[in-house]
Structure 1
């Protein structure tokens, strides 16, 4: 085990996935938490950002008509969502009442993308490196997942009497179009296009690989890592042996 903090764990096998290809969900969960903590140090003129891992949306996979349904199954799904949100917020003592951007990492069909509640523009923005294929509506591609999250998160904020709940009334779904979207990427876009750029742009591939190394080091050396002394000691030993 190389990382343990706030009940999140990453082993050597998880960090090995940072080399290339698909990244371990354990790493993604830890990175979301670290990003939220790092944002606490933002400058006063910067918007407040909050990052939730894919665990939250996974609770909604089987949800249907959460807005009106009062069935036992619907209540259980919503309760699981609340527990997942509460856990991620309470683990780092985070208040989201003044957040400007709330990101949800989504993992479906072995593919990561993001949904962001942008309270500055009143839009729930779907950010995906893969474009919507021609002749297919975005709403069909995402199987109404944005609508599910919009309803569920609104209910959660209302239950918690969070000031953001009022802003949810004007929130509309927006499918973002970016010039770097492509169909060829088979790797989660959180870490981008390693396989594609290996052939197209060796400099960019090197840059992306160095980013992964930077992220791995940031996770390992985070103050949130209770195993940091152990990791530091082991690193020094390895360095001595290499000389």
Structure 2
């Protein structure tokens, strides 16, 4: 969602049309996914200010969950403002427009914002890594049973996050969706050859 969709500078119809266009771009026009009838979870990564977090719509049981690695002492609205509710509202409108039977369940659901066992108070730089890990490992069900294989905030957690950062960067760089993939591979090969020439190759 763009800032204009939240701060009111865009009209409602413009907000909705932009949202639909973005959804359709993501599913590439595939009707099976466009209807969301056989989709259990819908994830919306959110960047608010300089912080990333995740909003998940559990279509299977009609639940709305906000997953954030940061542990706060201020109330929900003080943390996130109107953004989550704006997103939920426009998503519900989209569900109704395509006749999805879960629209009313999602509309009536209150936000769940659990304090995660691996939540952080000091780490303000790895929120994007947490979001990707949450999308990768959360499969619905009881939040108390969910384990994303990240320990509590300590030195060991930092080591795990560093490994995950390398993993995700590698996946992104080598993805066929990366238009610069060939250049990345050529640069990597050139760098490896330069190390060998210096006697520092593997």
Match of 2:185 in 1: 232
Alpha-carbon distance in 1 for matches of 2:168, 2:157: 16
Q: 1:142 to 1:233 in 2, by over 3 A?
A: closer
1:83 pairs with 2:21 = yes
Alpha-carbon distance in 1 for matches of 2:79, 2:165: 29
Deviation at 1:77, TM superposition (A): 2.0
Q: CA RMSD in A?
A: 3.0
Gaps of 5+ in 2: 131-150, 197-202
Asked whether the equivalents of residues 63 and 148 of structure 1 are also in contact (C-alpha less than 8 Å), the reply is no
Asked whether the equivalents of residues 191 and 212 of structure 1 are also in contact (C-alpha less than 8 Å), the reply is yes
With normalisation by structure 2, the TM-score equals 0.71
Q: 1:142 to 1:205 in 2, by over 3 A?
A: closer
With normalisation by structure 1, the TM-score equals 0.60
Match of 1:174 in 2: 112
Consecutive aligned runs of 4 or more in structure 1 exceeding 4 Å deviation: 91-94
Q: 1:242 to 1:233 in 2, by over 3 A?
A: same
Alpha-carbon distance in 1 for matches of 2:160, 2:21: 38
Match of 2:37 in 1: 97
Asked whether the equivalents of residues 122 and 172 of structure 1 are also in contact (C-alpha less than 8 Å), the reply is no
Match of 2:66 in 1: 126
Deviation at 1:217, TM superposition (A): 0.9
Gaps of 5+ in 1: 1-55, 65-71
Match of 1:114 in 2: 54
Asked whether the equivalents of residues 62 and 102 of structure 2 are also in contact (C-alpha less than 8 Å), the reply is no
Alpha-carbon distance in 1 for matches of 2:19, 2:66: 20
1:152 pairs with 2:105 = no
Deviation at 1:57, TM superposition (A): 5.7
For 1:34-64, what per-residue CA distance to the aligned partner results, in whole angstroms no more than 9, with x for missing partners? Answer: xxxxxxxxxxxxxxxxxxxxxx364532249
Q: Which structure's relative contact order is higher, taking Cα pairs within 8 Å and 6+ residues apart?
A: 1
Q: Of 72, 75, 82, which aligns to 1:137?
A: 75
Q: 1:223 to 1:94 in 2, by over 3 A?
A: farther
Alpha-carbon distance in 2 for matches of 1:160, 1:93: 11
